[in-house]
Amino acid sequence: MKDILKEIIVNIVVAIIMGISGYLWGKLRGTKQSTEAIKRKETLYIPIDDEMINFRNNYKDIVEKIDFPIIFSVVDKKYRYEIDKNITNKILELKENVENYNKINIMSLVSDIIQNRFITIFEELFGSIIEDYVINYDHDGNEYETDIYCEEYESLKYILEKDIKSLIINRNYPEYLISDIQDITHKDLVNIYSGCFNIIINGTPIKKRTIPNWQGTVPEFFAYNTNFIEEFNSNTKIQRKNELLKEIKQQSLDIKNKMEHIISKITKLYEKEII
């Protein structure tokens, strides 16, 4: 009888010890999980959320490049973070769109639009932009010709970057201000073309161009006959850049919402105050 009672007491003590050990282990494990979750919230999810918010609040126009250094670093070093596969895929899709977006050089495209329009108008008025050519030789002694362009066209190829930026930014007005847009872009174009026709070389102005039956200046004529907004909006590469920007904005919103959902969940599970 005593042996049975002793065995019962031992079993009870063992059960109590195991229960306490299990409780302490569970408590310790829960504390570790909460600490790690809060750390990931502070060092990973919040910085990503902030980066998405900053982009959506501050990105102004397609003349600027897009970069997400924090979020792209996460996928480049994903072995460190073990982020959910669905989130990783969303970030990779965003990264691909951003890379394609940045490859489309808006400054070069706008420069091409202006140069092509300049050539068309100039050659209708004054003849070819090619005034002469020179003979050159390559390293193997082979002969080739190099065209010599008129001074106006050579000057146009070195349009100041700020003038092109102004032209791009000013076209981005609401549609109900269309007449104002035309006025603003017209002034920008006049400034650009003025740099081509008011050239002084070694202290001497180049020959002055005139247009019969035109009361304004030559730069004003070129600007008047350049429908920049229409050509800008109909350019297929620029259209693609705009499409990519819409996708990037939507993707950034989706990632932002996902981060905020995770942040909220961690806060409720591990940091909510008990009142």
pLDDT in tens, 31-54: 545 667 777 888 888 888 999 999
Q: CB-based contacts of 97: which residues, under 8 Å, 6+ apart?
A: 244, 247, 248, 251
Structure tokens at 232: 């800008």
* Winning range, highest mean pLDDT, from 32-36, 200-204, 265-269: 265-269
For the segment 213-242, the average pLDDT, to the nearest whole number, is 90
* Winning range, highest mean pLDDT, from 10-14, 149-153, 221-225: 221-225
For the segment 59-78, the average pLDDT, to the nearest whole number, is 84
Q: What is the pLDDT of residue 6?
A: 56
Q: What is the pLDDT of residue 61?
A: 80
Between 248 and 34, the higher pLDDT residue: 248
Between 267 and 27, the higher pLDDT residue: 267
Q: What is the pLDDT of residue 102?
A: 95
Q: What is the pLDDT of residue 161?
A: 61
Write down the mean pLDDT value for the chain: 79
- The structure's pTM equals 0.76
Percent of the chain residues topping a pLDDT of 70: 76
For the segment 172-192, the average pLDDT, to the nearest whole number, is 67
State the Cα–Cα distance between residues 222 and 113, nearest whole angstrom.
13
